Amino acid sequence: MWSDSGGSVALFFDRALSIRRPGILLPHILGRAMAHEIVHLLLGVESHSDLGLMRRQWSAEDLRMDSRACSGLSTNAVESIRTEAARRVLIAKALPASRSGAE
């Protein structure tokens, strides 16, 4: 998935491994990191917030399975994501089959 500006994201597996602890599972870390980066691709690099999934920095404690510190998005962010996703679907539907990946 690419941003409108052509940007992409990368997840660093070694960094995810470095914050793994008992009660902080690697799939959970990677899942939250992927979700965070997908929001950046949809809404831009300035889409950080003070709370929830789009916090600028997470501690290892924030990533515990029972922590809600890094979950959730603001109502505005959810609506912006829906709008952007719908816009991209319309664009993809308008592309010729060879460009949209359909055969």
Q: What is d(CA 58, CA 52) in angstroms, rounded to the nearest whole number?
A: 10
| Residue 39 near residue 54, CB atoms below 8 Å | yes
| Residue 41 near residue 1, CB atoms below 8 Å | yes
| Residue 49 near residue 80, CB atoms below 8 Å | no
- Residue-wise burial string across 21-60, b where 16 or more C-beta atoms lie within 10 A, e elsewhere: eeebeeebbeebbeebeebbbbbeeebeeeeebbeeebee
So what's the pLDDT on residue 8? 83
Helices of type H across the chain: 13-19, 26-43, 75-94, 97-100
pLDDT tens, the chain, 103 aa long: 566 677 788 889 998 898 888 888 899 889 889 999 999 888 888 888 888 889 888 877 777 767 777 778 888 889 999 999 999 899 888 988 765 555 5
